[in-house]
Amino acid sequence: MLVICSNDAVMVKYGKTDGVKVLAAVARLGTVVDVSGRTPTEIRSEIDSRDPSRSAPVCLVGGYDLVPTFRMANPTRTVSDDRDADVLTDAPYGARPDSSAEIYLPTRAVSRLPDGGVSDPAAFVDLLTQAVAAPAAGTPHGTYEHSAAEFDGSAQLVHGMLPGQSPVRLSPPDPQGMPSLGQLASGRGRLHVILHGADKGDGRSTLWGREGPGSPFLAAVKASDLKRCDLRGAIVTFSSCYAAMLDNVAGDSPRTSDNQVGLACLAAGAKVVYGPTRANWIDITQPFDSFAAALIARVWARLQLGDGAAEALRVAKWEYSKFALALDAWGRPYVFKTLLQAHCFGHPLAML
């Protein structure tokens, strides 16, 4: 495994004393490649030169202020009402420098260990320590699945890949007297959440449910609630808009585990979190197998076959694309966006 870290950026963000502690924790992950001051394209070339066989997975350490990501035009911007102008994506790190096709269908497994947008050295060292132990850590039994009612068909598609003891919880309706999120999710090892997300303002820390298009939104899951759960050893997948968004809209405070659901799950002990960086596309008509949930279902299938976390996403993208790109041509931009923005946060070799 190649551990990609900007030593200079760590020292600037965390200061000399805490920066040394952070870098010591990074070194325990594996072979560190210092990419201080380099652009994403330069970093990718360095990765390729270090491992031309492309057999070693890559772990990017820190948020975009420590190891920058690629910024690509949104494939669905001109064919839908999608307001995302771009897609921030680590996918090109899995591609050979001369291959545009591999940006969507990577030949190298890639993950990231994000630290959040503010300096919190103790929390980052804890996350890195947790990641070091992740490949040997077990995954608790039991599931927790939460879906907007309008996404129930897509939620059931994923549910078929992680059958557990509990049904998919729908929002709405949410029966009164339902146990708290902490009671339902804590101690579970397999979690899938398919709700609506937001990219800005106060709503970005919450995932939302609703009955169907045009119906009112209901606050269903908050980052602060997830952070209080016991998710030690869990694998969490989000088919929810912006669930892996690490940047922030101008005027909003930086992304942290208090306002971003993916970071909250990592802070709560999850060893792997999957999610999209931008607005997600979810099928609401049968057979529910074209976009984001279809990819996540294949991730769970690969995990159950024994793939490591980053490899599971890499192979799932290939399997998903062979099916999805063969469908009607109108859907291809949505497939490309799905492939670009699906991310793995955590140790690349962690397993189910």
CA pair distance 69, 89, nearest whole angstrom:
6
- Burial (CB < 10 A; 0-12, 13-18, 19+), residue 30, is middle
**Residue-wise pLDDT tens digits, 113-150:** 999 999 999 999 999 999 999 999 999 999 999 999 99
The one-letter code for the residue type at 167 is P
DSSP annotation string for 140-194: -S-EEEEEEGGGHHHHHHHHTTS--SSPPEEESS--TTPPPHHHHHTT-SEEEEE
Residue 174 is predicted with a pLDDT of 63
| Domain chopping of the chain, boundaries | 2-135, 138-346
CA pair distance 27, 31, nearest whole angstrom:
7
- Crossing angle between the packed helical segments 292-304 and 332-341, to the nearest 10 degrees: 50
Residue 301 is predicted with a pLDDT of 97
Residue 329 is predicted with a pLDDT of 82
- 138-346 fold: Rossmann fold (3.40.50)
**Residue-wise pLDDT tens digits, 193-210:** 999 999 999 999 999 999
DSSP annotation string for 35-68: -TT--HHHHHHHHHHH-TT--S-EEEES-TTTS-
Q: Flag residues of the chain having pLDDT under 70.
A: 174-177
Predicted TM-score (pTM) of the model is: 0.96
